């Protein structure tokens, strides 16, 4: 049975499952990863799982089968299975905004299997299908050159203007699926209100062959609206002889706000709608994925959706102990709430996944960066860790030093594809070797005895060895997960993103927080609007502290 969101309170440190895990942690804290691997030759088999085209190895975490069963007890105590079902059937689990959370419906097969999903009297599957058809038609028209610019030129450049979920998803996916992209089309992404961002793109494109996709769920976001207006002005100034009516060939919108789109001057026929039950950071599956569909074509876009759906089906149906998103989430809970890790580093060993860490930053930190539970009570335990990272092998030559020998223990998620999308000999083996070597090094470390023996074999004196020994010793026992896929394709990428979405969901349920609102972003937005007025109009020093007033004064003098 699904649960109603209202009966969810925060996870309390005195919950029986939490206490059992604390005791277990205290009793096993001396266990090292080296010991665990030496004691059990089957460890890799026991602590790995395959689902929806992905393979997860979580053996390099300081946990045992006892740890996992206590974590499953915690998941059961927190009603993860019931809450999971509540999400899939469209209960309004986003209680602070009274919204259902149905990104899974965006990738459900058509025609729908089973009973229709009806939210507020609307058939969700039918709505999704209708918009997908609109996306299919439009992308086909642009890609086949039947949609052209105002003076008959085919579209060569697509500029997605959006921010947050209206940027990070399509940007990350377009980069990841670069080998699948249409040869004629160049994709650009503008998000920052800093004019350098838009300026850099406008300086590369020809207005006559450029299509702007204005992507904003609300169509009120300051950054996106300012960039959209500047792009519109630029177009009218730079497209020879273009009239206002020509804008229709070059500006389309993706939004839930029809009135806002009309007010901007985009014909609602050129608007691709979506719905308030799609969170911004979950919207790449909705029409916010328009830029993706333009880049890779609608057929491959449906493969991307199907990959996510395969992970949805696995997540919804697999028992907790055989459920990849649940396991990934619980391992994260173990690291965060019992082993005390404050951050999680994401290391994709695939250059095309370069934007994946920033995408996950929004997905995880905007979703679970909360200090109050669904029932309004303050949480009493740590919630979302800081998410950060970069592609391997680049990160190895920047911050991996800290991961190996720093004072904090930071778990790492390694992500790699076994097969490359290029044909350059030798690179893929070198890349994977580095990926596996890093996780092995984090796990094993290098003991003082090993370091001493190595230096002795190189003929160093005992005095030199004593001086260098502490610096060259690696503590090891540093946890990591490794996620493998056969190849980075639309389907495997869809599955990977859905894996993390569901991981975030499970962790939110365990912590008892609402993963689907983002009130924390509001305060800065409101203050920025006031300060912008003061920078270009009258200052109001009585509204601010001396630091903010000082900064405003310096900027006013320069602007």
Binding region for ligand F6P (CB under 6 A): 162-166, 216-218, 221, 224, 280-281, 366, 518, 521
Dihedral sign for Cα atoms in the order 490, 496, 499, 503: negative
Closer to ligand F6P at the Cβ: 67 or 287? 287
Given the residues 6, 30, 397, 471, the one annotated as active site: 397
- For every residue of 216-255, DSSP letters joined together read -SSS--HHHHHHHHHHHHHHHHHSTT--GGGGGGTEEEEE
**Distance between CA atoms of residues 275 and 283, nearest Å:** 10
Closer to ligand F6P at the Cβ: 125 or 355? 355
Per the annotation, the verdict on 397 as an active-site residue is yes
The residue written with tokens 């469209």 in the block is 90
Question: What are the distances in angstroms from CA 446 to CA 96, 119, 196, 398, 480?
Answer: 50, 57, 47, 21, 17
Per the annotation, the verdict on 446 as an active-site residue is no
Given the residues 303, 366, 501, 534, the one annotated as active site: 366
* Element holding 215 (H helix, E strand): strand 210-215
**Rounded to the nearest whole angstrom, what is the least distance from the CB of residue 262 to ligand F6P in the complex?**
16
Closer to ligand F6P at the Cβ: 149 or 280? 280
Distance of CA 506 to the CA centre of its chain: 15
**Rounded to the nearest whole angstrom, what is the least distance from the CB of residue 16 to ligand F6P in the complex?**
36
Closer to ligand F6P at the Cβ: 72 or 219? 219
**Rounded to the nearest whole angstrom, what is the least distance from the CB of residue 257 to ligand F6P in the complex?**
8
Question: What are the distances in angstroms from CA 64 to CA 28, 67, 71, 342, 378?
Answer: 9, 5, 11, 22, 31
Q: At what angle do helices 490-511 and 168-176 cross, to 10 degrees?
A: 140
**Rounded to the nearest whole angstrom, what is the least distance from the CB of residue 197 to ligand F6P in the complex?**
15
**Distance between CA atoms of residues 181 and 300, nearest Å:** 10
Facing residues of 415 across strands? 348, 483
Closer to ligand F6P at the Cβ: 281 or 478? 281
On whether the CB atoms of residues 342 and 402 are closer than 8 A, the answer is no
Nearest to 438 by CA among 488, 390, 476, 384: 476
Pairing type for strands 412-419 and 480-487 reads: parallel
What the block records as the tokens of 341 is 């890790």
Closer to ligand F6P at the Cβ: 97 or 375? 97
Question: What are the distances in angstroms from CA 191 to CA 169, 179, 204, 252?
Answer: 12, 24, 16, 16
Largest CA distance in the chain: 82
On whether the CB atoms of residues 167 and 215 are closer than 8 A, the answer is yes
3-state secondary structure of 42: coil
The residue written with tokens 């399509």 in the block is 170
Per the annotation, the verdict on 23 as an active-site residue is no
End-to-end CA distance of the chain: 60
Helix, strand, coil percent values for the chain (each to nearest 5): 55, 15, 30
Closer to ligand F6P at the Cβ: 99 or 281? 281
**Distance between CA atoms of residues 117 and 336, nearest Å:** 36
**Distance between CA atoms of residues 56 and 45, nearest Å:** 11
**Rounded to the nearest whole angstrom, what is the least distance from the CB of residue 164 to ligand F6P in the complex?**
3
Closer to ligand F6P at the Cβ: 104 or 256? 256
Neighbours of 219 (CB within 10 A): 25
What the block records as the tokens of 84 is 């999971």
**Rounded to the nearest whole angstrom, what is the least distance from the CB of residue 273 to ligand F6P in the complex?**
13
Closer to ligand F6P at the Cβ: 242 or 365? 365
Query: Annotated catalytic sites, by residue?
Result: 366, 397, 525
């Amino acid at each position: 049975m699904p649960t109603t969101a209202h009966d969810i309170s925060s996870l309390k440190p005195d919950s029986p499952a939490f206490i059992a895990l604390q005791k277990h942690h205290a009793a096993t804290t001396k266990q090292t990863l080296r010991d665990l691997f030496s004691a059990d030759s089957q460890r890799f088999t026991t602590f790995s799982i395959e689902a929806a085209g992905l393979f997860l190895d979580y053996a390099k975490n300081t946990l045992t089968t006892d740890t996992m069963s206590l974590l499953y007890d915690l998941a059961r105590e927190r009603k993860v299975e019931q809450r999971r079902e509540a999400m899939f059937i469209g209960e309004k689990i986003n209680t602070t905004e009274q919204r259902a959370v149905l990104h899974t419906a965006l990738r459900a097969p058509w025609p729908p299997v089973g009973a229709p999903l009806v939210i507020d009297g609307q058939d969700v599957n039918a709505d999704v299908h209708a918009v997908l058809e609109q996306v299919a038609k439009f992308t086909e028209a642009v890609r086949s050159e039947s949609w052209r610019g105002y003076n008959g030129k085919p579209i060569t450049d697509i500029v997605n203007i959006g921010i947050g979920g209206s940027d990070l998803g399509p940007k990350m996916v377009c980069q990841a699926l670069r080998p699948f992209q249409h040869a004629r089309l160049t994709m650009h992404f503008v998000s920052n209100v800093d004019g350098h961002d838009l300026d850099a793109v406008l300086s590369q494109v020809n207005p006559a062959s450029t299509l702007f996709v204005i992507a904003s769920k609300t169509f009120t976001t300051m950054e996106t609206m300012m960039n959209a207006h500047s792009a519109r002005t630029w177009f009218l100034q730079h497209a020879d002889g273009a009239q206002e009516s020509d804008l229709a060939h070059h500006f389309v919108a993706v939004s839930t706000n029809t009135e806002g789109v009309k007010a901007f001057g985009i014909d609602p026929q050129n608007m691709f709608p979506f719905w308030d039950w799609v969170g911004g950071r979950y919207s790449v599956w909705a029409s916010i994925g328009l830029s993706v569909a333009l880049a890779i074509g609608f057929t491959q876009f449906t493969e991307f959706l199907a990959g996510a759906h395969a992970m949805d089906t696995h997540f919804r149906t697999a028992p907790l102990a055989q459920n990849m998103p649940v396991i990934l989430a619980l391992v994260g809970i173990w690291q965060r709430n019992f082993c005390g890790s404050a951050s999680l580093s994401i290391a994709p060993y695939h250059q095309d996944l370069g934007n994946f860490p920033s995408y996950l930053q929004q997905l995880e930190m905007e979703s679970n960066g909360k200090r109050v539970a669904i029932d309004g009570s303050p949480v009493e335990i740590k919630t979302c860790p800081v998410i950060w990272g970069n592609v391997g092998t680049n990160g190895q030559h920047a911050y991996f030093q800290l991961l190996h020998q720093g004072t904090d223990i930071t778990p790492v998620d390694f992500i790699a594809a076994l097969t490359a999308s290029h044909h350059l000999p030798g690179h893929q083996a070198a890349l994977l070797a580095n990926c596996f070597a890093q996780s092995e090094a984090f796990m094993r470390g290098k003991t003082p005895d090993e370091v001493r023996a190595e230096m002795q074999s190189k003929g160093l004196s005992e005095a030199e060895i004593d001086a260098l020994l502490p610096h060259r010793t690696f503590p090891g026992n540093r946890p990591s997960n490794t996620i493998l896929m056969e190849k980075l394709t639309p389907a495997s990428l869809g599955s990977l993103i859905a894996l993390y979405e569901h991981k975030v969901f499970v962790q939110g349920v365990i912590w008892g927080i609402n993963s689907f609102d983002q009130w924390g972003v509001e305060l800065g937005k409101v203050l920025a609007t006031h300060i912008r007025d003061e920078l270009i109009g009258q200052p109001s020093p009585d509204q601010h502290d001396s630091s903010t007033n000082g900064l405003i004064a310096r900027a006013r003098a320069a602007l």
